[in-house]
Amino acid sequence: MKYSQKYPNAEPLQMVDATIMCGRKADNCVQCGALTKFIDIDFETHVCSEECEDKLIDEFFRHAMKR
Ligand SMILES: [Zn+2]
């Protein structure tokens, strides 16, 4: 689900989840390119939805295990 749908009343700089914050301005989701105000604070990158967050974490661990 899109974070903008899940947290429609999120204020700028509000934490909406353990690792997800609503940013001050929108930017492109690192996974799908959609404009979103939500940021993953662990990866310091914009991410628009739970699905994109899952993919981001997936890729991170796959990459980490190759080393
Ligand atoms: Zn996305």
pLDDT tens, 28-66? 999 999 999 999 999 999 999 999 999 999 999 999 987
39 Cα: distance to centroid of ligand 1 (angstroms): 11
User: Under DSSP, is residue 67 helix (H, G, I), strand (E, B) or coil?
Assistant: coil
62 Cα: distance to centroid of ligand 1 (angstroms): 19
48 Cα: distance to centroid of ligand 1 (angstroms): 4
In total, how many domains does the chain have? 1
54 Cα: distance to centroid of ligand 1 (angstroms): 10
pTM for the full model? Answer: 0.90
Q: Which of 15 and 63 is assigned the larger pLDDT?
A: 15
The domain in which residue 23 lies consists of 3-66
Q: What is the DSSP string of 46-60?
A: E--BHHHHHHHHHHH
